[in-house]
A and B are shown apart, each in its own frame.
Chain A
Amino acid sequence: MDPQDALLTILGLGAITLLSRAFFLLPRHELPMPPLVRRALKYAPLAALVAIIVPEVVLTRGALIGTWADARLLGAVAAAGWFAWQRGILGTIAVGMLVFLPLRIGLGW
């Protein structure tokens, strides 16, 4: 991405933060939110995050990895396990990196 495009992308992302966080604060008069929309909104962010994370972890150049000997996969499993147990974001990052880094730097996985 060339610098000008990157700049424009970043400014657009800033506008999106403003638009989403102030969505119902911006209009002059209160807007009703239909219940079906409210329910659909519950699933969309979760789905987008999963759709970003999972391919980052289980695909290499667009193909499924065929082995467990992968630093990302084991790091992600360890991190998810820690979160399920302790539910803290700090520990999740720390445990995931503690598994990931030795495998990546030491073994080249």
Chain B
Amino acid sequence: MMPGMSAWGLVTGVAMVKSGLGIGPALLMTLVVYAGSAQLAALPLMAAGAPMWVIWLTAFVVNLRFVIYSAQWRIYLGHLPRLRRTLIGYVAGDVNYALFMKHWPEQRAEPGQLSFLAGGIAVMWVGWQVASVTGILLAHQIPMEWGLGFAGTLALIGLTGSLLADRATWVSAGVAATAAVAAYSLPYKLHIVVAVAAAVAAGLLMEGPGSGLHRPLRGALAGRR
């Protein structure tokens, strides 16, 4: 997984500078944000001068998968002090989650888990930051009209592909694509919000009976059968 991560970090570094961020802000972004997909999603919006709340909302929606991960992390890390488990969550990305869940599929806290996770986090963090900083410094040597920022879009295509699992996700993605293009002329990049709402509705409808949609809203939200 490391070569892929490095390539992605490099691309994110280049994309940050090529979308108009200076070296300083780009370095700050890679250190503070440390979330490739959210960074790549935010860059075109920042370049287009979208309002801050739209940029933040978009990043949060792209990051919603981490909210799901964190519910899992709670099972393994819930016994740790609050500050400690929060900081671990902050720096644990997709790859850390995937590796950890593969290694400990049984959902309970066990000895050895913390050092496994800490090691993985350290390796990924260093690998990512080295690649990203290299990209930031390299980007200045490359002419703008080569369009290297496009590599960021390609990285997102790969991530999107990994989320396409079944018919419901494919249909949901198709709805998102058409809704985004159809609603593109909305101000403030609101087409993203429209596309997400339409695609979530489409995905839930595709799940059909048993999806909880036939139940009264209250019961569905409380998860009662």
Taking Cβ atoms with an 8 Å cutoff, the residues of A that contact B are 1, 3, 5-14, 16-26, 28, 30, 32-59, 62, 64, 71-72, 75-76, 79-80, 83-84, 87-90, 92-94, 96-97, 100-101, 104-105
Contact = CB atoms under 8 A, between A and B. Distances in A.
A22 B70 contact: yes
In this complex, the interface size class of chain B, counting residues with CB under 8 Å from chain A, is 35 or more
A25 B172 contact: no
B101 interface: no
B63 A50 contact: no
Contact of B196 (A10, A11, A16, A44): A44
A13 B221 contact: no
B223 A34 contact: yes
A40 B67 CA distance: 12
A51 B196 contact: yes
Interface in B132-179: 145-148, 150-151, 153-164, 168-169, 172-173, 175-177, 179
B172 A43 contact: yes
A47 B195 contact: yes
A50 B148 CA distance: 20
B120 interface: no
Contacts of B176: 46-48, 50-51, 54
B28 interface: yes
A60 to B, nearest CB: 11
B86 A22 contact: yes
Contacts of B66: 17, 20-21, 23
Given A47-B195, A51-B179, A93-B155, A84 B52 contact: no
Contacts of B123: none
Given A17-B33, A45-B64, A97 B151 contact: yes
A20 B64 contact: yes
B60 A16 contact: yes
B82 interface: yes
A100 B149 CA distance: 11
B169 A36 contact: no
Nearest to A64: B181
Nearest to B62: A48
A8 B145 CA distance: 29
A8 B85 CA distance: 26
A43 B223 CA distance: 19
B62 A45 contact: yes
Contact of A17 (B38, B78, B163, B169): B38
B29 interface: yes
